[in-house]
Amino acid sequence: MNPSSRPKTLRELRDSGWQSKSIKREIRDNFLRILAAGEELFPGVIGYDSTVIPDINLALIAGHDLLFLGEKGQGKTRIMRNLVRFLDQEIPYLDISEAPFHEDPYAPISSVCRRFVAEHSEDHVPIGWWHREDRYAERLAPGTKFADIIGEIDPAKLAGGESMSAEEALHFGLIPRMHRGIFAVNELPELDELVQVGLFNILEERDVQIRGYPIRFDLDIFLLFSANPSTFNRSGKVIPQLKDRIGSVIHTHYPRSRDVGIEIMEQEAGMDLGGDYPVVVPYFMREIIEEITIQARKSKYVDQQSGVSARFSIANYRTMVASARHRGVLLAEKPSVPRISDLGRIYSSSLGKLELDLMGSHQMNERQVLDSVLALAIRTVFEEYVDKHGLAEISEIFNRGVKIQVGDLLPSSEYAERLQRVPPVWDRAFEVNASSDASMRASCVEFVLAGLYAMDLVSRSQHHGQIHYEIH
């Protein structure tokens, strides 16, 4: 709606024909319109088309409050924030300075607004407009108090003469202030039990007691929650009455294929690979980065109840690209191409993101666990290339008895000196121009050497940050 033509008084609003809707009706109507038009429902959400999204669709049509249940890094918060697009672009509210909420002009729920509307003609009741981006709020459960999201008695108002039992004596929390909006609670099981009871009342009874005084509001709100299955299902973490009143539980999951994981990783990393110091990332290097995460999710040394977030892949991908670009600047190589040796720099972006299984890891530290999953990732990806193109064709390019030094700061030309001829299979196997580009050739050399080492076909030693491979 054009700002200049928007109704500015209650009279103009009625004359415009605007109709009041509950927030869930508003979301359902807009969702069905977008669905019928064939538009993308959840932009930027990848890998959930046949699993998670159908469940969300039905829940929105049913008018349910939602719980997103899944491990960290599965896009729960992104989806919750995405639901804002199913709100109207803007809605009218009573623009009264003392109003505690963005009130429905036709059905105010606070005594302040009801009294104002009763005492003024509709030509003198001002109307404001609330944009949909402002109708979403979220709160992280740990440390959240009752006063934060429900409300509390305001001492200043008591000092001003208000009665403790009067609505005017209250300072309202986030949920009442999001009347006609969306409110999300992340990590629901970490919410204090007293606050959970308050949410239970809001979901079912629309009745809130503050300091023992019953305050009844017909709150119109869409509630969203997120939780990790291991804590949500633990006895006593979430009160049964609250669980029972959440309309739909949406189970999220990690990418079901490596290619989907790579697509998510590249989208979320948002790296500009061009510019003055361009970087070209071979697909096998993207595969290895995502495979590291996949192997960590399988590892007996990693706490699988905690999960391994997609942020693990994203951070490692950024570090790998940064290492390649750093080399490109120092050695004046354009474009710069990530190598296996660049993965020696991902400790900084990995450590702290893996929670070890105290029973399974024994005496292994986080760095040792990362070394283990990195080796498995390289071997897994390399074996796929071997299966597709043959080990002999890939490995026979090296002369017997040769020693090859690699490192993230070695010029690509040094690799070319060791490998004068690139076999035609490389252009097929690696889908890159290794035969004509020295930087790409260096990346392929390191991949083959690391793969052969992972298969115990060559030996390796490391000195002062440089890695030496020896072909037997």
**pLDDT of 156 higher than 60:** no
**pLDDT at residue 351, as a whole number:** 85
| 213 and 193, same domain (yes or no) | yes
| 240 and 262, same domain (yes or no) | no
**pLDDT at residue 448, as a whole number:** 85
Helix (H/G/I), strand (E/B), else coil: 198: helix
Among candidates 371, 337, 331, which has minimal Cα distance to 453? Answer: 371
Lowest mean pLDDT among 9-18, 25-34, 228-237: 228-237
> CA-to-CA distance for 192 and 377, rounded, in angstroms?
41
**pLDDT at residue 159, as a whole number:** 47
- 220 touches 20 (CB < 8 A): no
**pLDDT of 157 higher than 90:** no
pLDDT (tens digit, 9 = 90+) per residue, 191-202?
988 888 878 777
| 130 and 200, same domain (yes or no) | yes
Instruction: Tell me the CATH number at 88.
Output: 3.40.50.300
**pLDDT of 42 higher than 70:** yes
Place of tokens 């070394």: 371
Domains of the chain: total:
2
**pLDDT at residue 207, as a whole number:** 57
> CA-to-CA distance for 68 and 248, rounded, in angstroms?
9
| 419 and 443, same domain (yes or no) | yes
**pLDDT of 233 higher than 90:** no
Helix (H/G/I), strand (E/B), else coil: 430: coil
**pLDDT of 433 higher than 70:** no
Token code pair at residue 254: 């990690």
| 276 and 351, same domain (yes or no) | yes
| 367 and 448, same domain (yes or no) | yes
Say if residue 269 is exposed, middle or buried (CB neighbours under 10 Å; 0-12, 13-18, 19+). Answer: middle
**pLDDT of 100 higher than 50:** yes
Mean pLDDT value of segment 166-176: 72
Lowest mean pLDDT among 259-263, 367-371, 403-407: 403-407
> CA-to-CA distance for 179 and 23, rounded, in angstroms?
9
| 267 and 292, same domain (yes or no) | yes
| 165 and 233, same domain (yes or no) | yes
Domain with 54, as residue range(s), is 3-251
**Structural domain ending residue among the three candidates 251, 281, 304:** 251
The dihedral region occupied by 11, where left means phi > 0, alpha psi between -120 and 50, and beta the remainder, is alpha
Amino acid at 117: V
**Structural domain ending residue among the three candidates 193, 223, 251:** 251
DSSP 203-254: HHT-EEEETTEEEE----EEEEEEE-HHHHTSTTSS-HHHHHH--EEEE---
pLDDT band at 235 (very low <50, low <70, confident <90, very high): confident
Mean pLDDT value of segment 432-446: 76
pLDDT band at 428 (very low <50, low <70, confident <90, very high): low
Over the chain, what is the mean pLDDT? 86
**pLDDT at residue 398, as a whole number:** 64
| 266 and 221, same domain (yes or no) | no
**pLDDT at residue 361, as a whole number:** 52
> CA-to-CA distance for 434 and 424, rounded, in angstroms?
9
pLDDT (tens digit, 9 = 90+) per residue, 352-404?
888 887 665 567 788 889 999 999 999 999 998 887 777 776 666 665 656 77
- 387 touches 394 (CB < 8 A): no
Q: Which residue has the higher pLDDT, 420 or 70?
A: 70
| 84 and 39, same domain (yes or no) | yes
**pLDDT at residue 158, as a whole number:** 46
Say if residue 212 is exposed, middle or buried (CB neighbours under 10 Å; 0-12, 13-18, 19+). Answer: exposed
**pLDDT at residue 435, as a whole number:** 58
Mean pLDDT value of segment 311-335: 95
Mean pLDDT value of segment 228-233: 89
Distances (CA, A) of 233 to 199, 305, 355, 448: 18, 12, 20, 45
**pLDDT of 8 higher than 50:** yes
| 266 and 341, same domain (yes or no) | yes
| 144 and 21, same domain (yes or no) | yes
Lowest mean pLDDT among 118-127, 203-212, 303-312, 322-331: 203-212
**Structural domain ending residue among the three candidates 251, 272, 301:** 251
